[in-house]
Amino acid sequence: MIDFQIDPSRYRHWRLAFDGPIATLTMDVDPDGGLFEGCELKMNSYDLGVDIELADAVQRLRFEHPEVRTVILRSGKEGVFSAGANIRMLAKATHGHKVNFCKFTNETRLAIEDACDNSGQRWLAAVSGSAAGGGYELAMAAEHIMLVDDRRSGVALPELPLLAVLPGTGGLTRLTDKRMVRRDRADVFCSTEEGVRGRRAVDWRLVDEVVPPSSWEAKLRERALALAEKSDRPVDAKGVVLAPLQRTLSDDGNVYTHVRATFDRGQRRAELTVRGPGEVSGLDWALLLARELDDAILHLRLNEPTLGLIVLRSEGDPAAVLAADEELEARKDDWLVREIRLYWKRVLKRLDMTSRSLIALIEPGSCFAGTLAELLFAADRSVMFAGTRSSDNRGPATIALSALNFGAYPMGNGLTRVATRFLGEPDSFARARECVGEPLEAEDAEAAGLVTLAYDDTDWSDEVRLMLEERASFSPDALTAMEANLRFAGPETMESRIFGRLTAWQNWVFQRPSAVGAEGSLKRYGSGLRPNYDTERV
């Protein structure tokens, strides 16, 4: 099992050091600490385990260290920044693991960019030695890249000439869309195994500055302090410790305090139930639920590939969710509230990007309001119970919107889920805005276009059962591809282009004979034999 829970006391690959507003995160990968046996992580190459620690560090820096305004990202190894994703791991891993590895590392890079853009915590990549492939992609996630101007330091994306695959973590898109490298230069760069160093790296916009070795440390500190100056993070706030999650993992499901995941392997389905505020409420509830939900989603992605359908449910009092939302909205300028909102934004995007069918069921006793209503809009379909059950004395299910549905949680395309939903229906969008705070029963929710379908007690069981069974009967791959298209209407951003265009092409390449065939590049890497390529273009 791949576990996404970690803490700094158990890091094998990273070191964190703090100096006032500046944190230094040092990558020093333990070659023997790889997830896969026989894959030695030489030269700061990495696998998913290394990135899980990085993602944890990114997260803790934000929540536990409000005082940190600049994060210096550097290497603890002499002569190499990072050699990128470990190639033997890529050769050994299943297609599904490769795809999910790339997805997760991308999300970690986006979390770094989110910290720079929205959280006042700016990342500075200090590239000394070679930053190749994923190593350079990691540097590109930072706001500013400094490169030592010596003969052995440089940046490269050697995947195409060396391995016949694409940079797996958004590299091509960050080149063209973030760093806005001229496309013919990007073409030359991406097909030059040894990469680019020195002045040319600046001229080509690949790094932001080159610095002579003699003034390296001084310049680094100067830049870090200059970046810190621009931050709006509080000076004397106290961080929030991200305590270990309380959870019980088993073959039948995972139980957290506010999330319950139950697995039905026969039906290839997971049911994910989130619980509204109770003993834990307000901000504490919002943060804890985000953490538990994030872990539950990641667990399903990596450890349960055959559970192709996630049924989303909720339990609790919608009014209590709306009360938490009110606090999240009223105090949004507070650094911690900002972090919680940004975290929910990222968790919801993680759900959007999860290649499982998502069907939300809204029943009496549920609490899909405000922040939790986002789950309905992230779902491929939502089905609402109309009226009450004869055997149940609870009132009819309702859903409700809050102010947070209209700006706090944009999708990767830059729009809110409600706005994306109603791209073709401006009137419906306007009506949705008007009904903020109002509990809507099934008939009204359906008329407002906020749920897909509604059934009453007579039809509910049969219709829902048939829908879930039908979904499970479709080709999992075809669903993956369809959902990757239908979920993201409207505009595209660098982020959505990475997960859409780039990821799809990369997934394609990752199963072509030239890369993964018996004589392909990944299999033959390091063997002394040249790979055999399929010579036909498509």
Q: Which positions from 198 through 227 interact with its own copies, judged by CB under 8 A?
A: 205
Footprint of its own copies on 433-462 (CB under 8 A): 449, 452
**Residue with smaller CB distance to its own copies, 180 or 237:** 180
> From CA 129, how far away is CA 352, in angstroms rounded?
37
Footprint of its own copies on 88-127 (CB under 8 A): 95-96, 99-100
Footprint of its own copies on 11-50 (CB under 8 A): none
438-441 CB contacts, 8 Å cutoff, 24+ apart? 438/400, 438/401, 439/318, 439/369, 439/398, 439/399, 439/400, 440/398, 440/399, 440/400, 441/386, 441/396, 441/397, 441/398
> From CA 342, how far away is CA 353, in angstroms rounded?
17
> From CA 449, how far away is CA 477, in angstroms rounded?
29
| Residues binding its own copies: number (CB under 8 A) | 90
Q: Give the CB-side neighbour count of residue 354, counting CA atoms within 13 A.
A: 32
> From CA 522, how far away is CA 510, in angstroms rounded?
10
Q: Is the dihedral of CA 453, 458, 462, 465 positive or negative?
A: positive
187 scored as a contact of its own copies (CB under 8 A): yes
Structure tokens at 458: 């007579």
Minimum separation from the CB atom of position 355 to its own copies (A)? 5
Query: In the set 305, 364, 396, 414, which binds its own copies (CB under 8 A)?
Result: 305
Query: In the set 38, 470, 518, 527, which binds its own copies (CB under 8 A)?
Result: 470
514 scored as a contact of its own copies (CB under 8 A): yes
465 scored as a contact of its own copies (CB under 8 A): no
478 scored as a contact of its own copies (CB under 8 A): yes
Minimum separation from the CB atom of position 391 to its own copies (A)? 29
> Which residues fall within 8 angstroms of residue 485, CB to CB, at 6 or more apart?
none
136 scored as a contact of its own copies (CB under 8 A): no
Whether the CB-CB separation of 95 and 480 falls below 8 Å is answered with no
Q: Which helix (H) or strand (E) holds 74?
A: strand 70-75
517 scored as a contact of its own copies (CB under 8 A): no
Footprint of its own copies on 152-181 (CB under 8 A): 159-161, 164-166, 172-173, 175-177, 179-181
Smallest CA-to-CA distance from 468 within 379, 352, 371 is with 379
**Residue with smaller CB distance to its own copies, 181 or 259:** 181
248, burial (CB in 10 Å: exposed 0-12, middle 13-18, buried 19+): exposed
507 scored as a contact of its own copies (CB under 8 A): yes
Residue 528 zone, left/alpha/beta (φ > 0; ψ -120 to 50; rest):
left
394 scored as a contact of its own copies (CB under 8 A): no
Footprint of its own copies on 315-354 (CB under 8 A): none
Smallest CA-to-CA distance from 127 within 222, 183, 208, 190 is with 208
Got the DSSP string for 281-311?
-HHHHHHHHHHHHHHHHHHHHHH-TT--EEE
**Residue with smaller CB distance to its own copies, 18 or 508:** 508
**Residue with smaller CB distance to its own copies, 436 or 489:** 489
Bridge-based pairing state of the strands 22-27 and 14-19 = antiparallel
Query: In the set 371, 421, 432, 442, which binds its own copies (CB under 8 A)?
Result: 421
Query: In the set 5, 231, 281, 480, which binds its own copies (CB under 8 A)?
Result: 480
**Residue with smaller CB distance to its own copies, 177 or 317:** 177
**Residue with smaller CB distance to its own copies, 338 or 497:** 497
**Residue with smaller CB distance to its own copies, 180 or 218:** 180
Footprint of its own copies on 401-420 (CB under 8 A): 420
**Residue with smaller CB distance to its own copies, 343 or 377:** 377
Question: What is the DSSP-derived secondary structure letter of residue 501?
Answer: I
268 scored as a contact of its own copies (CB under 8 A): yes
**Residue with smaller CB distance to its own copies, 197 or 268:** 268
Residue 43 zone, left/alpha/beta (φ > 0; ψ -120 to 50; rest):
left
Minimum separation from the CB atom of position 514 to its own copies (A)? 4
424 scored as a contact of its own copies (CB under 8 A): yes
Query: In the set 70, 82, 371, 506, which binds its own copies (CB under 8 A)?
Result: 506
527 scored as a contact of its own copies (CB under 8 A): no
Minimum separation from the CB atom of position 192 to its own copies (A)? 9
